[in-house]
Amino acid sequence: MQNDNETPIEAAAEQSAGSAMDGISRRDAVSLLAALPVAALLKLSGAEHDRVWRHVEQALRASEAGAPLAPKFFTPAEFRTVRVLADMIIPRDEQSGSASDAGVPEFIDFTVSDRAYYQKPIRDGLAWLDAQSTSRFGKSFVDAAQSQREAILNDIAWPGRAPASMADGVRFFNSFRDLTASGFWSSEVGVKDLRYMGNVFVMDWKGCPPAALHKLGVDYSKFDRSKLKLTPDSH
């Protein structure tokens, strides 16, 4: 249930992070994130999208060849944290690869390097994670055990429940989670994960699915072929 003080995005994001860390399947968690308007978060034009993913594909090819590209913005230590955190948000499962399999860390690196307003908040947030982990467990976030990392994230994943002392971590995690979701569902892996069938020629079109017609309150018995409308004019 949504907290009265939360936005719809915060509420759905809370559920997704909570699901991933409380034992519900990744499929349930990413379905919640997929419902968010993540494509609008970065407002990428077609040209910008192509530019970002050309860089990501180049970085992934270089990594596969054993000569990974240096991050454009992050330090090597920061980039390791980005990779670990992204994969905690969207881990690998039986259907799809993880965030890092999809090139999300490279996507985030390129996006942050290209958009100055992300740079200080994201860098400060990564430092906040390490400070929390060092204070609690005596080691950096990357070097901490999975259960220890989860303990930190459980304190910041639910904006409506997080203590005031965790406000900086909450703001960072919300922003990072949005970047992760935006990157994943604009990637080839993410599109396949959603089973999106756009731009595919359909040999045997059987019409709109019954569930979709029911939701719209229309059916093919009302189809007006002369006007190519599902429902006739009410006038």
In a domain, 46, yes or no: yes
Half-sphere exposure of 138 (CA within 13 A, CB side): 0
- Give me the pLDDT at residue 231, please: 56
In a domain, 200, yes or no: yes
- d(CA 210, CA 16) in angstroms, rounded, equals 28
Any idea how long the chain is? 235
- Give me the pLDDT at residue 67, please: 73
pLDDT of 162 above 70: yes
What is the token pair recorded at 9?
A: 């995005």
pLDDT of 45 above 90: no
Q: Please name which of 184, 185, 183, 174 lies closest in space to residue 8, comparing C-alpha atoms.
A: 174
Q: Phi and psi of 224, rounded to 5°?
A: -100, 100
What is the token pair recorded at 100?
A: 């890092």
Domain containing 136: what range?
A: 8-204
Q: For the beta carbon of residue 186, count every other beta carbon within 10 angstroms.
A: 20
CA 68 to chain centre: 23
In a domain, 100, yes or no: yes
- d(CA 230, CA 227) in angstroms, rounded, equals 9
In a domain, 229, yes or no: no
pLDDT tens profile 53-100: 677 777 777 777 777 778 889 999 999 999 999 999 999 888 888 899
- d(CA 123, CA 77) in angstroms, rounded, equals 11
pLDDT of 51 above 90: no
In a domain, 30, yes or no: yes
Exposure string for 47-74, b = 16+ CB within 10 A, e = fewer: eeeeebbebbeebbeeeeeeeeeebebb
Write the DSSP assignment of 62-93 as a string of letters: HHHTT-PPPPSSS-HHHHHHHHHHHHHHS---
- Give me the pLDDT at residue 4, please: 40
pLDDT of 28 above 60: no
What is the token pair recorded at 56?
A: 């990501």
pLDDT tens profile 94-134: 888 889 998 899 999 989 988 899 999 999 999 999 999 99
In a domain, 217, yes or no: no
In a domain, 1, yes or no: no
pLDDT of 13 above 70: no
Q: What pTM was computed for the model?
A: 0.66
In a domain, 168, yes or no: yes
Domain count, the chain: 1
- d(CA 74, CA 88) in angstroms, rounded, equals 19
